[in-house]
Structure 1
Amino acid sequence: MVLLGTFVNAILIIIGSIIGRFLKNIPENMKQTVMNAIGIAVVVLGIQMGLKSNNFVLVIICLVFGAVIGEWIDLDKWLNRLGNYIEQKFGSKKSQGGSIAQGFVTGTLIFVIGAMGVLGALNSGLQNDHELLISKGIIDGFTSIILSATLGIGVILSAIPVAVYQGAIALFATQITKLIPAAALDLFIQEMTATGGIMIIAIGMNLLGLTKIRVANLLPSLVVVAIGVTIIYNF
Structure 2
Amino acid sequence: MFPGIGTALNISTIIIGSLIGILVGKKLNEKLRNLITDVLGCITVISAADALTAYWDPSLTKSLPNGGAILVVIFSLLAGALIGSWLKIEDALENLGKKLKTRFSPQGGSNFVEGFVSASLIFAIGPLAILGSISDGMGTGIDQLVLKSTLDGFTSIAFAASLGWGVALSCLPVGIYQFFWTAIGLFLGAILAPYQIAAMTTVGGVLLIGISLRLLRIREIAVANLLPALAIAPLLALLAKQFI
Q: TM-score, normalising length from structure 2?
A: 0.72
Q: Residues 3 and 234 (structure 1 numbering): CA distance in 2 closer, same or farther, change over 3 Å?
A: farther
User: For 1:129-148, what aligned pairs fall within 5 Å after superposition?
Assistant: 129-130=144-145, 134-148=150-164
- Aligned-pair CA distance for 1:199: 0.4
Matched, 1:197 2:208: no
Task: Using structure 1 for the length normalisation, give the TM-score.
Answer: 0.75
Distance verdict in 2 for CA 1:136–1:199, change over 3 Å: farther
- Measured after TM superposition, the shift of residue 186 of structure 1 is 0.9
Identify if the C-alpha distance between structure 1 residues 163 and 39 changes in structure 2 by more than 3 Å, giving closer, same or farther: closer
Q: What is the CA RMSD across the aligned residues, in angstroms?
A: 3.4
Runs of 4+ in structure 1 over 6 Å off: none
Residue of structure 1 in register with 2:116 after alignment: 109
Count of residue correspondences: 219
Shift of 1:7: 1.7
Q: Does 1:29 align with 2:31?
A: yes
Alignment of 1:1-235 (within 5 A): 3-4=5-6, 7-8=9-10, 10-18=12-20, 20-21=22-23, 24-53=26-55, 54=61, 55-88=69-102, 91-92=105-106, 109-110=116-117, 113-114=120-121, 116-119=123-126, 120-126=128-134, 129-130=144-145, 134-148=150-164, 158=169, 161=172, 164-175=175-186, 178=189, 180=191, 184-235=192-243
Alpha-carbon separation, structure 1, partners of 2:94 and 2:242? 39
The one-letter code matched in structure 2 to 1:215 is: V
Gapped regions of structure 1 (runs ≥ 5): none
Name the amino acid aligned to 2:86: W
Q: Once the 2 structures are TM-superposed, how far is the Cα of residue 140 of structure 1 from its aligned partner? A: 1.8
- Where structure 2 has 5 or more consecutive residues not aligned to the other structure, the ranges are 56-60, 62-68, 136-142
Paired with 1:212 and 1:42, the residues of 2 have a C-alpha distance of: 15
Amino-acid identity (%): 19
Offset at residue 82 of structure 1 (A): 2.7
The one-letter code matched in structure 2 to 1:211 is: R
Does the CA-based 8 Å contact 1:50-1:197 persist in structure 2?
Answer: yes
